[in-house]
Amino acid sequence: MIDFAAAHPHLRDYQVQALNDLIKRWDSGATRVPMVLATGLGKTEIFSPLEGAWIGTDGLADAYGLGRRVLVIAHTDELIEQAARKARLRNPNLTVGIVKANLNQVTAQIIVSSRQTLASTKRRAAIRNVGLIIVDECHPALRSNTYGKILEHFGAFDG
């Protein structure tokens, strides 16, 4: 198991525990794992090290046999900017791009986008080799709505 506490000393104990629990659930075969934390407890701080572990030398993408890129879906400009800023801070050796409006940084290793942008089939099709999808504020994400179309496009319901 990855030692998130050693690799990311800025994380609080409960944040490390959340990451360890997530990995355990994946190892047990779960594929769509929700993580619920109250506002202000650092969800972005939690998923930023996960992005690096997925793509980097920890090789989570390889371990689970999935694509080596990360897609973060957020529903407001503020959350998109926050996720991109934190990803750049915590993963300085990885490329981070935003796909929304006139930004189309689809070749980045970590891509942050909105549900509204990814509702476009053309915008989704330009993003390839995604193995990890993080939906920030996932409570409105249902298989029957736009989120479902996006997740289905990227294979989240396969298997």
Phi, psi of 89 (to 5 degrees): -65, -50
- The per-residue pLDDT for 144 is 65
Q: Say which amino acid occupies 29.
A: G
Express each pLDDT in 27-59 by its tens digit.
999 988 888 888 889 999 999 999 999 998 777
Banded pLDDT at 22 (limits 50, 70, 90): very high
Mean pLDDT rounded to a whole number for the chain = 90
Q: Say which amino acid occupies 159.
A: G
Report yes or no: 126 and 106 within 8 Å, Cβ to Cβ: yes
Express each pLDDT in 89-128 by its tens digit.
999 999 999 999 999 999 999 999 998 999 999 999 999 9
Q: Read off the tokens for 95.
A: 């490329």
